[in-house]
């Protein structure tokens, strides 16, 4: 079961603090693009958000905490896309295409955050929990689509669950590599992942 990351940003009523946190996270995401995580500082984030360094510490204890919250915000959008894929009722080929296109759109919009999550998940447990938990949700959604196409639902290497996890991590790595220098290759990466997913799906249903 995926952990639900606690945050005041998810409260029904948006308070002043929520808006301030959003400004901080937006500033940090911009700095990830222009400077990268290693080079940006708490002072940089505070200045970009229009705050003093001391005021930022009221909301976040460190630069790492800012990034964790930024990753949490981004993976929430990823999980929503995954949930849509697992409950979609259209033709499976269209579900595959739509799911990959929506995922690619998130990589275009939030690529620096998502690459930072990949890069830091091995050393920051909170980010690893968020990223891996989201991957599990995405893998389950892929498995659901595979099962609709006739792939066996068991736990074997060729069954939907195992294939869903393999496809999930293939898509993550492919999109990660495609966006490292620019987004120009993301369309091709999306089509490649679609081809692989459909091939696995067709092979599984044939078996």
Could you report the per-residue pLDDT of 107-116, keeping only the tens digit for each?
999 999 999 9
Indicate if 64-206 has the same CATH topology as 9-61: no
pTM for this predicted structure: 0.85
Burial (CB count <10 Å: 0-12, 13-18, 19+), residue 170: middle
Give the three-class secondary structure for 205. Answer: helix
Q: Considering the chain, what percentage of its residues have pLDDT values greater than 90? A: 76
pLDDT per residue as tens, the chain (207 positions): 333 444 333 333 445 558 899 999 999 999 999 999 999 999 999 999 999 999 999 999 999 999 999 999 999 888 887 777 777 788 999 999 999 999 999 999 999 999 999 999 999 999 999 999 999 999 999 999 999 999 999 889 999 999 999 999 999 999 999 998 777 899 999 999 999 999 998 875 544
- Given CATH 1.10.357.10, say whether it is the number of domain 64-206: yes
Which distant-in-sequence residues (6+ apart) come within 8 Å of 15 by Cβ? 8
Q: How is domain 9-61 classified at the CATH fold level?
A: Arc Repressor Mutant, subunit A (1.10.10)
Q: At what angle do helices 125-148 and 186-206 cross, to 10 degrees?
A: 50
Closest CA to 179 of 96, 97, 119: 119
For the chain, the structural domain boundaries read 9-61, 64-206
Which ranges constitute the DSSP H helices of 121-185? 125-148, 160-178
Q: How far is CA 87 from the centre of its chain?
A: 19
């Amino acid at each position: 079961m995926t952990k639900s990351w606690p945050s005041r940003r998810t409260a029904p009523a948006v308070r002043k603090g929520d808006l301030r946190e959003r400004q901080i996270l937006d500033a940090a995401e911009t700095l990830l693009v222009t400077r990268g995580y290693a080079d940006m500082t708490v002072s940089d984030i505070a200045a970009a958000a229009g705050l003093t360094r001391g005021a930022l510490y009221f909301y976040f204890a460190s630069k790492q905490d800012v990034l964790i919250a930024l990753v949490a915000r981004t993976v929430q959008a990823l999980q929503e896309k995954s949930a849509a894929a697992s409950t979609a009722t259209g033709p499976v080929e269209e579900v595959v295409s739509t799911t990959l296109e929506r995922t690619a759109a998130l990589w275009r919009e939030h690529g620096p955050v998502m690459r930072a999550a990949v890069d830091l998940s091995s050393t920051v447990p909170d980010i690893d929990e968020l990223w891996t938990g989201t991957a599990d949700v995405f893998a389950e959604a892929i498995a659901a689509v595979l099962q609709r196409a006739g792939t066996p639902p068991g736990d074997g290497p060729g069954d939907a669950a195992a294939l869903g996890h393999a496809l999930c991590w293939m898509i993550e790595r492919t999109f990660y590599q495609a966006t490292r220098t620019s987004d120009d290759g993301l369309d091709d990466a999306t089509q490649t992942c679609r081809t692989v997913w459909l091939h696995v799906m067709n092979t599984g249903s044939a078996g």
